[in-house]
Amino acid sequence: RAYERVLLIDPQQEQAVDDLIHLCHKHERYRELARLYERKAGMVSARSDRHTMLVLAAETHLEHLEDDRAPRRLIKTVLGEAPGQVGALTLKARLAVKDGAPKDAVEIYETLAHVHRGAAKAEVLIELGRLYHTSLNEPKKALAALLQARELAPDQPGVQETLRELFEVTGSWQDLVVVLAEEHEAAVEPHERSASALALARVSLDHLNDEEAFLSWMAKAHDARRDSPEVAEAYIGYYTTKEAWQEVAPRLEWLVNYLEGKKLTQDLPQRAHELGRLLERSGQPDKALEYYKMAMQTDGRYIPNLVDYGRLLVEREQWERALRVQQNLLMQSRKLPDDATR
């Protein structure tokens, strides 16, 4: 209030306005802050300082007050007097994106990219890359902008993430491996190191057909986090395609017990049934029965398990249990796929 009284006495008291700006910013009183920036713009003598204040007012409206009418008015004023004012052009580009005019925004950002240097230029190039990628579907131009941004400022937030997306879209798998490896080296937490190593393993196998690299990264993923179901599933999928059942069995058993222990029941019936079949094929019928039972207890309507469980109980001459399973199966018979199975 004291500052406001000073301004009533002397409306041109610039120090009082500066102090109020500081207080409003500190206490997040953004509507008053925007008005004060405009007031300060009318007090400064240099035209460039006036433009800076008007841009700050426009930015405050845009970021904190969800009001784009005042910013448009202020930006129009500034660019009318100084068409190349960088702050006003940046806000104009943001408004163009908001208006659904990405081409207009790209044109402005291209201009700004020639004006800025260093980290500031990298920020502009990141915005360009995102627009080319997400709004204009021009991945090659997006990639060029982001690679240039990474060269200028390797640690700039958003560069690595967007580059990763683009390398996937463009099929630049070797480049993607480089980015993922950098992320893996930078990761500190075990779950982050495991996830990044697993991503590298999948790229190595699925897109580079490099099984040696796949197994190397899988080992790192497992070492980083030994209780990862995602790692177990990746191993199971790989060894299943190789029909290396001796490698599948212990990992599948670990996964099933993990799912049961964590009460993650969505995939448990299918996985427990899958393990039961594998154990049955490997000559362990009694252990197979345990997992068929687990699958039924989790979901008594899962027909493939009921069929195999009932059959094996009959083969093992466990008649009472077989009868209960077969009765359950009869109740579900309308869901069986064909008359022969019924």
Per-residue pLDDT reduced to its tens digit, 23-58: 888 889 899 999 999 989 988 889 999 999 999 999
Residues 6+ apart with CB under 8 A from 137: none
Q: What percentage of the chain exceeds 70 in pLDDT?
A: 93
Q: What is the pLDDT of residue 170?
A: 84
Q: What is the pLDDT of residue 139?
A: 87
- In angstroms, the CA 272 to CA 295 distance is 5
For residue 330, pLDDT beyond 60: yes
- In angstroms, the CA 275 to CA 240 distance is 12
Region 150-156: what's the mean pLDDT? 84
Q: What is the pLDDT of residue 87?
A: 95
Residue whose pair of structure tokens reads 């990219």 in the numeric block:
113
Least confidently predicted of 135-144, 187-196, 240-249: 135-144
Q: What is the pLDDT of residue 155?
A: 79
Region 300-314: what's the mean pLDDT? 88
What would the pLDDT profile of 242-274 be if each residue is shown by its tens digit? Answer: 999 999 999 999 999 999 999 999 999 999 999
For residue 341, pLDDT beyond 80: no
Q: What is the pLDDT of residue 340?
A: 57
Nearest to 194 by CA among 168, 219, 167, 161: 219
Sign of dihedral through CA atoms 82, 83, 85, 87? Answer: positive
For residue 110, pLDDT beyond 90: yes
Sign of dihedral through CA atoms 279, 280, 283, 289? Answer: positive
For residue 335, pLDDT beyond 70: no
Q: How buried is 84 (Cβ within 10 angstroms: 0-12 exposed, 13-18 middle, 19+ buried)?
A: exposed
Q: What is the pLDDT of residue 49?
A: 94
Q: What is the pLDDT of residue 20?
A: 83
Q: What is the pLDDT of residue 37?
A: 92
Model confidence pTM above 0.75: no
Region 96-107: what's the mean pLDDT? 95
Q: What is the pLDDT of residue 332?
A: 74
